[in-house]
Amino acid sequence: EIVLTQSPGTLSLSPGERATLSCRASQIYSSNYLAWYQQKPGQAPRLLIYGASRRATGIPDRFSGSGSGTDFTLTISRLEPEDFAVYYCQQYETFGQGTKVEIK
Amino acid sequence: QVQLQESGPGLVKPSQTLSLTCTVSGGSMSSGGYYWSWIRQPAGKGLEWIGRIYTSGSTKYNPSLQSRVSISVDTSRNRFSLRLTSVTAADTAVYYCARDRNSGWHSEWFGPWGQGTLVTVSS
């Protein structure tokens, strides 16, 4: 069974700052199966990144994904007000526990 | 643009069966080789995959729920459904349906998602 560990649990940043979110898998799997989602309060998750580094349709280029093996990263280059949300990584049918990006 | 919409009762009594339907619009479920999944989220908690179905009727379920869950598809009406039996308070959650890009073995990503529907298990 895959376990995905996201860190940090909460990230407190200001608009315009860079956000770096981590997702670590318990075993090595293909990076084809690593995706990232954004979820705002009261909304469904939205696909941001798939295949570890490919942006989904309509996702701004300030969002980028990287990594391979067991370590993956979601980077938001410059936080916009609408980016403050919870972010989940997913591999196979398992989701991480989420990282909350909050306004400092 | 494909859209998904969940529907079904918002309140279910303990020990009874939870039934939800997801209607897909903006495209045929049978095109593109996608699978179709159910995912749930208890209040304030993370996401749990429940199971998926292909338009052929082939299914796969989360082992932790397998004994209680079934998913079916009606391609003529472009919708798929979830049944979860013997529910308890632990099944209270927002239930989402989502399109599932799948290798045939595992999910690669989910998108788009329905808006979600809250199901409360209470007497």
Helix, strand, or coil (residue B83):
strand
DSSP for A11-65, please give it.
Answer: EEE-TTS-EEEEEEESS---GGGEEEEEE-TTS--EEEEETTTEEPTT--TTEEE
What span, in angstroms and rounded, lies between the C-alpha atoms of A59 and B52?
26
Q: Higher-confidence residue: A30 or B30?
A: B30
pLDDT per residue as tens digits for the range A15-45: 999 999 999 999 887 777 899 999 999 999 9
Dihedral sign, Cα of residue A96, residue B111, residue B121, residue B74: negative
The residue written with tokens 């376990």 in the block is A3
Query: What is the pLDDT, as a whole number, of residue B66?
Result: 96
Contacts of A35 in chain B (CB under 8 A): 108-110
B46 vs A56: CB contact, 8 Å cut-off?
no
pLDDT per residue as tens digits for the range A72-104: 999 999 999 999 999 999 999 999 999 999 999
Is it the case that residue B97 has pLDDT exceeding 80? yes
Is it the case that residue B123 has pLDDT exceeding 90? yes
First to last CA, chain B: 39
What span, in angstroms and rounded, lies between the C-alpha atoms of A102 and B120?
29
Q: In whole numbers, what is the pLDDT of chain B averaged over residues?
A: 97
The answer to whether A94 faces chain B, any CB pair under 8 Å, is yes
What span, in angstroms and rounded, lies between the C-alpha atoms of A79 and A97?
21
A45 vs B107: CB contact, 8 Å cut-off?
no
Tokens of B7: 């529907």
- Which chain B residues touch A if contact means CB-CB below 8 Å? 46-49, 62, 96, 101, 103, 106-116
What span, in angstroms and rounded, lies between the C-alpha atoms of A14 and A27?
34
- Strands A46-50 and A54-55 come out as antiparallel
Please report, as a single letter, which amino acid is at residue B61: Y
Tokens of B61: 């379920």
Q: What Rg, from alpha-carbon coordinates, does chain B have?
A: 14
**Chains A and B: how many Cβ contacts under 8 Å?**
54
Query: What confidence tier does A70 reach under pLDDT thresholds 50, 70, 90?
Result: very high
CB A39 within 8 A of CB A46: yes
